Amino acid sequence: MRIASPTECPDGIRRITISMPEETFQLLDRLIHQRGFDSRSQAISEMIHQRAAEHISSIGTEVMAGALTLIYDESKSSLLRELSKICRDHVAEVISSQHILLEEDNVMEVILMQGPARTLREITNELVTCKGVKHAQLTLTPHLIPPLHAKTVARA
């Protein structure tokens, strides 16, 4: 198999040519229309980026940023305490959380994390196994959150 070299453009973007079956092409155009992409290039670039991030996260050692969405029943007596303890146990990775009150006793919590992908999946597994958690979805990205506080050297 011969892979052609990409064409480099002055704006730092690389151009490539791809071929695909007609059915795949039609699916791509439908996706572009439904999701509102500006171009095929934008859609394909986003898909490749997403798959590359999934691949990197599957290796587990790469530091990644993540958003974990939990849905849980806040009426479970010890659940909030248990969720808080797990987040505190992983304070180096858990950056912040947002609680959204839903109907009845349901809560949506979005937890922002950063660390090795394997560690973020382990935290997710700890949280999802708590009694009262109904749903968990972890989304990882290789785009990192910048340091919140720069370390400064103490002056004498």
54-70 residue pLDDT tens: 777 677 788 999 999 99
99 and 67 housed in the same domain: yes
Structural domain includes residue 133 = yes
The reported pLDDT for the residue numbered 120 is 95
Instruction: Provide the CATH number for the domain around residue 99.
Output: 3.30.70.1150
Q: What is the reported pLDDT for 55? A: 74
pLDDT at position 47 is 86
Asked, for residue 127, whether it belongs to a domain, the answer is: yes
For residue 10, tell me if it sits in a domain.
Answer: no
Largest CA distance in the chain: 70
- Residues 89 and 50 both lie in one domain: no
134 and 72 in a common domain: yes
In this structure, is residue 96 part of a structural domain? yes
77 assigned to some structural domain: yes
Rounded to whole angstroms, the Cα distance separating 127 from 91 reads: 14
- Helical spans, DSSP H, in 60-149: 79-89, 117-128
Residue 37: exposure state from Cβ atoms within 10 A (0-12, 13-18, ≥19): middle
Q: Could you say which of 8, 36, 59 is where a domain stops?
A: 59
71 occurs within a structural domain:
yes
Reading the block at residue 41, the tokens are 């290039």
Closest CA relative to residue 31, chosen from 44, 19, 22: 44
Domain interval for residue 104: 63-141
Whether residues 40 and 87 share a domain: the answer is: no
Residues 82 and 103 placed together within one structural domain of the fold: yes
Could you tell me which of 108, 98, 95, 109 has the C-alpha nearest to residue 64? Answer: 95
pLDDT for 1: 53
Token pair for residue 17?
Answer: 């040519």
Whether residues 55 and 119 fall in one domain: no
Instruction: For 121-138, write each residue's pLDDT tens digit.
Output: 999 999 999 999 999 999
In a domain, 124, yes or no: yes
In a domain, 107, yes or no: yes
pTM of the entire structure?
0.67
Q: Which residue has the higher pLDDT, 65 or 151?
A: 65
Domain tally for the chain?
2
pLDDT digits (tens, 9 = 90+) for 25-34: 999 999 999 9
Mean confidence (pLDDT) of the chain: 88
> Do residues 83 and 121 share a domain?
yes
